[in-house]
Amino acid sequence: MEFRGIKPNLVNCNILINCFCQLGLIPFAFSVLAKILKKGYEPDTITLTTFIKGLCLKGQIHQALHFHDKVIAMGFHLDQVSYGTLINGLCKVGETKAALELLRRVDGKLVQLNVVMYNTIIDSMCKGKLVNDAFDLHSEMVAKRISPDVVTYSALISGFCIVGKLKDAIGLLNKMILKNIIPDVYTFSILVDGFCKKGRVKEAKNVFAMMMKQDIKPNVFTYNSLMDGYCLVKEVNKAKSIFNTMAQGGVNPDIHSYNILINGFCKIKMTDEAMNLFEEMHCRKLIPDVVTYNSLINGLCKSGKISYALKLVDEMHDRGQPPDIITYSSILDALCKNHQVDKAIALLTKIKDEGIQPDICTYTTLVDGLCKNGRLEDARNIFEDLLVKGYNITVNTYTVMIQGFCSYGLFDDSLALL
């Protein structure tokens, strides 16, 4: 533009600053700001807010606050969007208290507070389980004649679900409807998920029915939550029925949908059905993740199909999806239970060679396997090595070792460990 003799204006410069900020190239953005000042333009609120947003996106929240203080000291003015961006940035990095302090600082002095600012802090408080504080902030909003919206209520409902106060969550839903604030798919899905996580699938189905009555179409998250609930109470066939209903309703299952069902079938040792779903994923061009493989491998191992599980481990390597400690722990457990302790020890060595650090659960499994396979001294050596290396030995590890000593009549050793 400049080469062609076209003089860039503030709008062009703001767009360029936004591009650099979105890409995280903050120094380039500041070089454009220098150009703006050099050309005699005065940066406007959009320019300054873009910088604040860019710094927040980079996680440089303290630099964003410093920038804010500097421009205010220079006599520039910021608007509700600017402060909403700063508050959001603080909440994203877990600085909810600082966000609340900023809200108090600007209240009526620099800008008028709005529903977006309150919603951001309420949501952050609820995610941090400070639900009572969030509800107090909601009451403050109402007192200031700032009307809560669907986002406010959804955040509070989510908070109550997180802390297990489902009765209060339902009370808020009813309050919303009375105030003619229409709950959206997100609001209903939170409640469905909340009930399902507690195994209260009947209530979840009631919320689901209420949602359908309001003519709100469930999304993949709603269906997944319901499926998860049924799997939790071991009604996997009902979960499969929900899965089929989802596909018929035009909602495409995602990788999480398949993971829920595969894990559900594996937990009740219906590994053939799980493998069928695994094959179906390939047909749908859905790439299995480590959760998919771990569920299948664990299910196959518990059903005594170790060779199939090992083939899946090879497939994980081939697909560039490296196994993790959970993958190997399942196989190690199966080898120990099938009296193949030497193979389990060899696998532990292989894990370490791959740079994967075994956790205390892995070692506990091996100690238990050694004890039950007549290798008490090997188990004792591993246990003592864990103590020397400063591992955080759990009650489960102690119990396994005590049980091992008891089974050999070594009660003094058992009591010493106790």
Question: What is the token pair recorded at 265?
Answer: 């079938």
Question: What residue has token string 């594996």?
Answer: 266
Question: What is the token pair recorded at 329?
Answer: 């722990």
Question: What is the token pair recorded at 84?
Answer: 């909403």
Integer Cα distance of 50 and 39 in angstroms:
19
Integer CA distances (angstroms), 133 to 92, 121, 123, 165, in order = 18, 10, 11, 15
Integer Cα distance of 257 and 352 in angstroms:
33
Taking alpha carbons only, the member of 333, 186, 211, 36 closest to residue 325 is 333
Measured over the CA atoms of residue 237, residue 239, residue 242 and residue 244, the dihedral's sign is negative
Question: What is the token pair recorded at 111?
Answer: 């800008």
- The structure's pTM equals 0.82
**Half-sphere exposure (Cβ direction) of 258: Cα atoms closer than 13 Å:** 26
Q: What is the DSSP string of 55-96?
A: HHHTT-HHHHHHHHHHHHHTT----HHHHHHHHHHHHHTT-H
Taking alpha carbons only, the member of 95, 13, 96, 87 closest to residue 48 is 13
Integer CA distances (angstroms), 250 to 207, 218, 240, 253, 343, in order = 20, 10, 16, 9, 48
The three-point CA angle 66-68-73 to 5° equals 95
Q: Digits of tens for pLDDT over the chain (418 positions)?
A: 889 988 888 999 999 999 999 999 999 999 999 988 888 888 999 999 999 999 999 989 999 999 999 998 988 889 999 999 999 999 999 999 999 999 998 887 888 999 999 999 999 999 999 999 999 999 999 999 999 999 999 999 999 999 999 999 999 999 998 999 999 999 999 999 999 999 999 999 999 999 998 889 999 999 999 999 999 999 999 999 999 999 888 899 999 999 999 999 999 999 999 999 999 998 999 999 999 999 999 999 988 888 899 899 999 988 888 888 899 899 989 988 888 888 888 988 888 888 888 888 888 998 999 998 888 988 889 888 888 888 888 899 999 999 999 998 999 988 998 9
Query: What is the DSSP secondary structure assignment for residue 43, as one 8-state letter?
Result: -
Return phi, psi of residue 378, to 5°: -65, -40
**Half-sphere exposure (Cβ direction) of 266: Cα atoms closer than 13 Å:** 27
Q: For position 145, what pLDDT does the model report?
A: 92
Integer Cα distance of 384 and 390 in angstroms:
10
Question: What is the token pair recorded at 252?
Answer: 């495409």
Integer CA distances (angstroms), 267 to 261, 262, 301, in order = 10, 9, 11
* Residue 108 identity: G
